[in-house]
Structure 1
């Protein structure tokens, strides 16, 4: 069960942060795991219910990012893939659509307070992603 929770949180963090570094230590993953678990206060039942949602979302998000030369598994992006304004806008729309789908699916399993916290985490990660893309 603990492995499933760790895997879920790892996927959640990957899906939300886009700032993972391949050299990031297990300690850093553990800290992220603790932070997200505490922030959402997930029950074991919720973890089981939302795991497939987050796995699917992470896969779709990875596909969107890969279309634009960003590889989150390696913790880096393709510097040769220049994202102009129109590509950034298109990617932003695709990412927003993905976030909406995931949020709708999660809202069935999370309570109002957890959804509020999830929305805050999403906003933080979106801001980090925007800053990262603009600094390319």
Structure 2
């Protein structure tokens, strides 16, 4: 298995297809949540993913500041069902933060997190900055991580 990080233009059609296939399988089908998964932000984002035997097994979308929020953001964080519980989410999230800090030179990262994952994201230095709210009938919170030099 190997990690990749690519801009939208660097992704092949097949890679983007597999990413969208996996995101839809989790966010739309598994979570039974019909919504506009392809939202126009992929083009301006970086795509971090781990691939095994032609399958996307872990993925996150890294958004530079100004794309979704004034701050940089991490979104669409997924681990394929069969690969959960093996530490991939932790590895994925650590790599996501490192890329935003070191490559994009951003010191603030804002995320829109499913409420039940608050403790997971808190373990990476994110602090809750909103009340719980429903997004597509799923409890969410906004969280922020600020790195000080």
Q: Same fold (TM over 0.5)?
A: no
Q: TM-score, normalised by structure 1?
A: 0.34
The structure carrying a bigger helix percent of its residues is 1
Q: TM-score, normalised by structure 2?
A: 0.32
If asked which structure has higher relative contact order (CA below 8 Å, sep 6+), I would say: 1
The structure carrying a bigger strand percent of its residues is 2
